[in-house]
Amino acid sequence: MLQPETHDINKSIIRLIRASSKGDIDRVIILIQDSTLVNGKDQYQFTPLIWACRKGHLQVVKALIDAGANKEIRDLRNRTAFFHAVTFLRYEVVSFLAEKECNVNPVDIYGWTPLDFALTNHNTKVANLIKKLGASSNRNTDQVVSKID
């Protein structure tokens, strides 16, 4: 059984994850005052930052980064917040995270990189951006890559 303190922390992490996912910046700002919650994880090992990146909530992403969120934490599939932003076509979030010098070449458990996802989704805007930042592909994407060069 969870100790009362642990149970309260877990509830607070879930509240922060929900607020991050919904883009509720006011709630996020209140909850991140407890810095121990910023890198909390759910059952998929998604952090509040990963959820905000998936949903494209740039203001929440900025607040979490400013509060010390770790950009390189990996989920169960070994994907980072940057990876999720690319996968869900969140250009503004991708651009912001790139400015914050996150790793643009994480490889997931399937051997995919963010550039692989951008190319597979024919998202040339994101693919061009992350390619300029040094992103690489682990797939045979020569035909798609030649279209964005």
Per the structure, how many domains does the chain have? 1
pLDDT tier for residue 32 given thresholds of 50, 70 and 90 = very high
CATH number at residue 11: 1.25.40.20
Q: Which residue range(s) make up the domain with 120?
A: 4-148
Please answer whether residues 115 and 130 qualify as being in contact, where contact means their C-beta atoms are separated by less than 8 angstroms. Answer: yes
Closest among 50, 71, 59 to 26, alpha carbons compared: 59
Q: Give CA–CA dist 70/149, Å, rounded.
A: 32
Tens-digit pLDDT profile for residues 33-70: 998 999 999 999 999 999 999 999 999 999 999 999 99
Task: Specify the pTM.
Answer: 0.87
